[in-house]
């Protein structure tokens, strides 16, 4: 798949209650910025019939009530908003720091990532923690951030056999991406560390402390620091 932004958005019906609006191809920060800006604009406009706006890497989806809207009317609304796009700012971006204990029982695949890329363990940790990662989208499980910006020297394929359970807080790599498992779940990414933070807290008004467009920075911590933060509730 190539990269870049389409000259015009492309519209696709998804079942009878969703419209997909595509803006480009590949993992491209400018395309994603346009997706986030348009999704935010749609949310602020209270478009009749729209129930939810769901941004992704290169597209967003409008979930709508089929008795109150249809794809044609929504496409017209999107094209009207497109004319205002140049005057709209992308949602503000924050820096979110995530403490991570790398290796040992917290990162059982750290050695594999190092071997695959002809690096030692410290080099993997340094390269992974020195970058600033754009959150392109949230998905898979609540709060799972799909992050762009992984150093090419750390690109590592997924596991041939996924694990039936990945511990919550696990920090992982798959191909050219890195991410965090906020909840325990099956998964096939390479586990290199774990954060003691509780990333998904459904009892709060804002269950997830970061959003698409924010940037994550991983900070290495010791096992003792990990256990202390965990003991304090992971906040």
- The residues spanned by each domain of the chain are 4-87, 95-231
Better pLDDT: 196 or 26? 196
Q: What is the model's pLDDT at position 30? A: 87
Architecture of domain 4-87: 2-Layer Sandwich (3.30)
Tell me the whole-structure pTM to 2 decimals: 0.82
pLDDT in tens, 43-80: 888 899 999 999 888 999 999 999 999 999 999 999 99
DSSP 8-state class, residue 212: T
Burial tier of 226 (Cβ tally within 10 Å: 0-12, 13-18, 19+): buried
pLDDT value at residue 3:
64
- Which pLDDT value is given to residue 1? 43
Over residues 214-229, the pLDDT tens digits come to: 999 999 999 999 999 9
CATH superfamily name and code, 95-231: Cyclophilin-like (2.40.100.10)
- Candidate from 10-24, 29-43, 67-81, 140-154 with smallest mean pLDDT: 29-43
DSSP state letters, 146-158: EEE---GGG-BPP
Candidate from 178-182, 213-217, 231-235 with smallest mean pLDDT: 231-235
């Amino acid at each position: 798949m190539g990269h870049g932004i389409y000259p015009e958005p492309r519209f696709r019906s998804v079942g009878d209650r969703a419209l997909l609006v595509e803006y480009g191809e590949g993992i491209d920060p400018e395309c994603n910025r346009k997706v986030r800006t348009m999704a935010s604009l749609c949310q602020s406009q209270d478009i009749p019939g729209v129930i939810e706006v769901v941004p992704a890497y290169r597209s967003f989806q409008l979930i709508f009530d089929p008795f109150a809207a249809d794809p044609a009317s929504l496409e017209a609304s999107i094209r009207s908003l497109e004319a205002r796009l140049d005057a709209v700012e992308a949602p503000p971006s924050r820096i979110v720091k995530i403490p991570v204990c790398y290796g040992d029982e917290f990162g059982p695949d750290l050695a594999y990532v190092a071997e695959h890329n002809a690096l030692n363990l410290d080099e993997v940790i340094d390269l992974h923690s020195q970058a600033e990662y754009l959150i392109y989208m949230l998905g898979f499980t609540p709060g799972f951030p799909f992050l762009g910006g992984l150093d090419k020297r750390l690109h590592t394929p997924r596991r041939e056999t996924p694990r039936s359970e990945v511990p919550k807080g696990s920090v992982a790599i798959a191909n050219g991406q890195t991410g965090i498992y906020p909840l325990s779940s099956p998964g096939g990414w390479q586990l290199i560390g774990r954060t003691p933070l509780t990333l998904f807290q459904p009892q709060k008004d804002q269950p997830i402390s970061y959003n698409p467009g924010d940037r994550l920075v991983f900070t290495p911590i010791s096992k003792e620091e990990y256990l202390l933060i965990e003991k304090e509730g992971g906040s």
